[in-house]
Each structure stands twice: as C-alpha cells, then as structure tokens.
C-alpha cells in the first residue's frame, strides 16, 4: 500500500453540475443560471450550469435532482451522469472561489464535480422556471455567454457525449422534440446538434422513410405561411424492438 501514503489529506468538495439541453425548432439551447458578483473595480455577470455542492447524506444522483429542482423548478427530470471533472485548477479563478465561498459560507478548496445531462422538450417547460434563481435558455453556440469555472469544458464534453449517443442510439434525439414533430423539426435537430446541413431529400430518405419507428400522422401543421407539413411521432415500442440491447 506504499503508494497510498504519498496521498496528501485534501480539503476537497464534491459538486454536481447539470447540463440541461433543449431545442426550439431552430437551435440547441442550454439552461443557465445567472451569477452576479462584485470585483475590485467592477461588477460582473456571468453564467453557470445549475449545480450544487453535495450535502452530507446525499448520493450524487439525489444532489443533482435537488439542485435542478431548487434552481430551475423543474421536477422529475431524467438526469444522466456523463462525466466527472477534477482538474486541480478548476477553481484557479479567484472570482469562482470567492463566489462559491460566499454562496456556501464555507472555505472552498479543490472541487471535483460530477456532470449530469438531460434533454428536455422545451414546449413542456414554458413558464415553469423557479422565480428564486435567474435561469434562462441560451444558444449553446452563443459566444457572448461567459461560463464560470470550467463549464465551457463541461459543455463541450456534454455535447460530445450526446452526439455519440445519438449516433449510435438515435432514440434520445426525440427527447428534444415535441410529441408531434415535422420532418423539418427532426432535420433541424440533427443539423443543430451536429452543426451540419442535411440535404432535405436525403435526410428524409435516411432518417424518416427508412425508419419504422417514425410514424406519419394524418394531422398537418396549421396556420403556417408555408405549405403545411405532415406531423410524425416517435414509436418507442417499434424502436426498442429494432435496437434491443442484448443482441
């Protein structure tokens, strides 16, 4: 066990941070909380993913659910742990340490954070956000948004993970779409997730016509200026049958 003895006793905290993604029909959105603070010569206002340091008797998943509920007001969100971040310089920015010590009323040293991710249907959460915190949707590509700590890294890792999952197991992209969606909605979701343009015809052939689990409905769009498009729905049963995990 000799190697263990080289371990320094660390003053360390563990937190959770939750990347909540949505899709508004045009672009991929992330839900951020505003962070305001004072500095020597100025105030600042930047943003972070909803999160919290874990409580004494809290499991990681519980802490993530609690943080999301308290900060955003969203309940029963299916959070998925995707990666932990523990670089020693996560808290090297004095602004972050100061803000956190002020917020937690405790000395903050090194923090290892466990990243969670979830995709939600934006149309189902309109107006449900808690008033206590200032949370808003932002384009994931919005470069004017300054993220605290290493949350820029957490975002890029979260997007990598989602792209990987959608590539191998497209099911989760339907978590971003309304229950009824048009071919264009699905194409735009892929397009914004993979920052890639898809030829309308080819996309339809490859991702809709070809897939038994995407069911065309009788219903079409209403009150639209362009030609009303047909709605589709995702059939989870048909999908599961095709993609059963144990081959």
Q: Least distance from C-beta 83 to its own copies, angstroms? A: 6
Q: For residues 54 and 120, which CB has a smaller minimum distance to its own copies in the complex?
A: 54
In the complex, the residues that contact its own copies under the rule CB under 8 A are 1-10, 12-14, 52-60, 66-67, 70-71, 81, 83-88, 100, 102-107, 110, 112, 114, 132, 163-164, 167-169, 190, 194, 196, 206, 245-247
Q: Are 46 and 148 in contact (CB under 8 A)?
A: yes
Q: Least distance from C-beta 7 to its own copies, angstroms? A: 5
Q: For residues 126 and 245, which CB has a smaller minimum distance to its own copies in the complex?
A: 245
Task: Quickly tell me which residue has 């975002």 as its tokens.
Answer: 155
Task: Quickly tell me which residue has 């939600």 as its tokens.
Answer: 120
Q: Please enumerate, as own/partner, the contacts of 226-231 that have beta carbons within 8 Å and a separation of 24 or more.
A: 229/182, 229/183, 229/184, 230/182, 230/183, 231/180, 231/181, 231/182
Q: Which of 104, 150, 107 is nearest to 10 (CA)?
A: 107
Q: Least distance from C-beta 107 to its own copies, angstroms? A: 7
Q: For residues 61 and 221, which CB has a smaller minimum distance to its own copies in the complex?
A: 61
Q: Least distance from C-beta 162 to its own copies, angstroms? A: 12
Q: For residues 186 and 231, which CB has a smaller minimum distance to its own copies in the complex?
A: 186
Return the H-helix or E-strand segment holding 52: strand 51-53
Q: For residues 12 and 215, which CB has a smaller minimum distance to its own copies in the complex?
A: 12
Task: Put the strands of the sheet holding 181-182 in their side by side order.
Answer: 181-182, 230-234, 214-220
């Amino acid at each position: 066990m000799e190697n263990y003895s080289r371990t320094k006793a660390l003053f360390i905290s563990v937190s959770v941070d939750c990347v909540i993604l949505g899709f508004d029909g045009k672009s991929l959105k992330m839900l951020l909380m505003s962070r305001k603070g004072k500095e020597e010569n100025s105030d600042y206002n930047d943003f972070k993913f909803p999160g919290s340091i874990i409580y004494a008797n809290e499991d990681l998943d519980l802490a993530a659910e609690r943080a999301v509920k308290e900060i955003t007001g969203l309940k029963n969100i299916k959070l998925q742990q995707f990666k932990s971040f523990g670089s020693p310089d996560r808290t090297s920015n004095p602004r972050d340490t100061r803000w956190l010590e002020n917020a937690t009323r405790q000395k903050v040293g090194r923090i290892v954070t466990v990243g969670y991710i979830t995709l939600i249907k934006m149309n189902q959460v309109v107006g449900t956000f808690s008033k206590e915190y200032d949370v808003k949707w932002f384009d994931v590509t919005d470069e004017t948004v300054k993220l605290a700590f290493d949350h820029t890294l957490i975002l890029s890792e979260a997007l990598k993970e989602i792209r990987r999952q959608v590539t191998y197991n497209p099911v989760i992209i339907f978590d971003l779409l309304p229950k009824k969606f048009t071919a264009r909605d699905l194409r735009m979701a892929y397009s914004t997730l993979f920052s890639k343009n898809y030829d309308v015809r080819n996309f339809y052939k490859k991702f809709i016509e070809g897939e038994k689990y995407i069911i065309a409905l009788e219903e079409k769009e209403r009150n639209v200026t362009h030609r009303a498009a047909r709605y589709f729905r995702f059939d989870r049963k048909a999908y599961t049958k095709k993609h059963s995990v144990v081959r």
